[in-house]
Amino acid sequence: VVIRIRNGRIFSREKIYLNNINSNINDVMKSILIRFYLNSESIPKEISLQVKPTDEKNIIRFLKLKKKTKVNFIYPKIGEKSKELRISYQNAKLLLGEWIIKKNKYNNFVPNTLSRLKEDLRLKNLPKLIEAFDISHLSGSDTVASMVCFIDSKPKKNKYRKYNIKSVNGIDDFLSIYEVVYRRYDRLKQNNEVMPDLILIDGGKGQLKYALKALKELSLDDIPIVGLAKRLEEIFIPGSSEPQTISKQSPGLILLRRIRDEAHRFAITFQRSKRFKTKNKSIYLQINGFGEKRLKVLMENFEGYKVIADSTPEEIKIKTKIPLKLAEKVIEISRSLLKK
């Protein structure tokens, strides 16, 4: 906390939050001074501090140049100046206490939806971390899988994952689910990473059976897992051939449907992107001066020919460094594909 005092009276109180700092109090004081006065035009002639900052002389020189007059640091131990420092310290302690209380409330906050889901599925623990899987293919080709992650009922997109299915030929959603579940949790197990509180499979009894098979082979079948079948929006759990009797209006079921739909959206987007890259690869290579390297960069930055068709040559150049003339031809071809 920084308290500004003029003519013996406090006229402002300002706070600074510091992240990722070390425990050396002198380094902390240096960080506070630089951050606070870097963009401030109001620099006093005298600054009272509890401890001497690291690199004191250079900080004073910096403040002197900025203020264009002399600036002093003082370290009072007694008297009125010391009392002012104690007031600053007490203010900082109060703010820190408030912040800790708010942080603990946030960490202990449990959305009502998760509580209902815990009751609906008779889970031992709150499903704060949920991972969901879906499979997508086009007539058995370009089969892919998606994994989406929700934490405290909200999507955590930086934890989403895409998978190319490697062991399955043709249409076999069961074996595809087995592969992706095994790959995902084999990796987490090997890296000693946090396991989910609940796994959601897009599908019914068959998909659930093969997902559970993968978990059993990894000795991870203690992780709660359920299947959500699309047709009647029914929930299946291991060991039961009948769907669970959960109200269609339950907040828990609504959350699972939202997560399932997100996994489906993510899988479809990935599958279309993959199909686009396979289908249109040779078309773009017909452009004179457009080789494999430029094609790879284009594919990495644009998910489909519609996105390319809607772009400008300048946008393509910025994202891919492809020359404007080539970018114009790429857009022209993409637009012709849309008309077919």
All domains in the chain, ordered by first residue: 2-108 (no CATH), 115-276 (3.30.420.340), 280-339 (1.10.150)
Which of 49-53, 86-90, 176-180 bottoms out in mean pLDDT, i.e. has the lowest?
A: 86-90
| Percent of the chain whose predicted confidence (pLDDT) is above 70 | 92
pLDDT grade for 219, boundaries at 50, 70 and 90: very high
pLDDT grade for 165, boundaries at 50, 70 and 90: confident
CA 239 to chain centre: 34
pLDDT grade for 140, boundaries at 50, 70 and 90: low
Q: Cα separation of 162 and 164, whole Å?
A: 7
Residue (of 182, 238, 192, 169) closest to 214 by Cα position: 182
Q: Check pLDDT > 80 for residue 18.
A: no
Please give the structure tokens belonging to residue 159: 């934890």
Residues 6+ apart with CB under 8 A from 269: 303
Residue (of 48, 2, 53) closest to 25 by Cα position: 53
Q: Check pLDDT > 70 for residue 33.
A: yes
pLDDT of amino acid 193: 95
Residue (of 138, 166, 147) closest to 267 by Cα position: 147
Residues 6+ apart with CB under 8 A from 260: 132, 134, 200, 202, 228
pTM: 0.56
CA 51 to chain centre: 39
Distance between start and end Cα atoms, the chain:
65
pLDDT of amino acid 261: 93
Average pLDDT over residues 267-286: 71
Q: Cα separation of 170 and 321, whole Å?
A: 38
Q: Check pLDDT > 80 for residue 27.
A: yes
Average pLDDT over residues 186-204: 95
pLDDT of amino acid 177: 95
CB half-sphere exposure, 244, CA atoms < 13 A: 21
pLDDT of amino acid 227: 95
Which of 202-211, 268-277, 331-340 bottoms out in mean pLDDT, i.e. has the lowest?
A: 268-277
pLDDT of amino acid 47: 92
Query: Strand ranges (DSSP E) for the chain?
Result: 2-6, 9-14, 46-48, 72-74, 129-138, 141-151, 154-155, 161-164, 198-202, 225-229, 234-236
Q: Identify the residue with better confidence: 42 or 328.
A: 328
pLDDT of amino acid 167: 86
Q: Check pLDDT > 70 for residue 278.
A: no
Q: Check pLDDT > 80 for residue 21.
A: no
Residues 6+ apart with CB under 8 A from 303: 269, 272, 273, 276
pLDDT of amino acid 149: 97
| Percent of the chain whose predicted confidence (pLDDT) is above 90 | 46
Which of 35-49, 170-184, 190-204, 254-268 bottoms out in mean pLDDT, i.e. has the lowest?
A: 35-49
Angle, in degrees to the nearest 10, between helices 251-279 and 112-121? 90
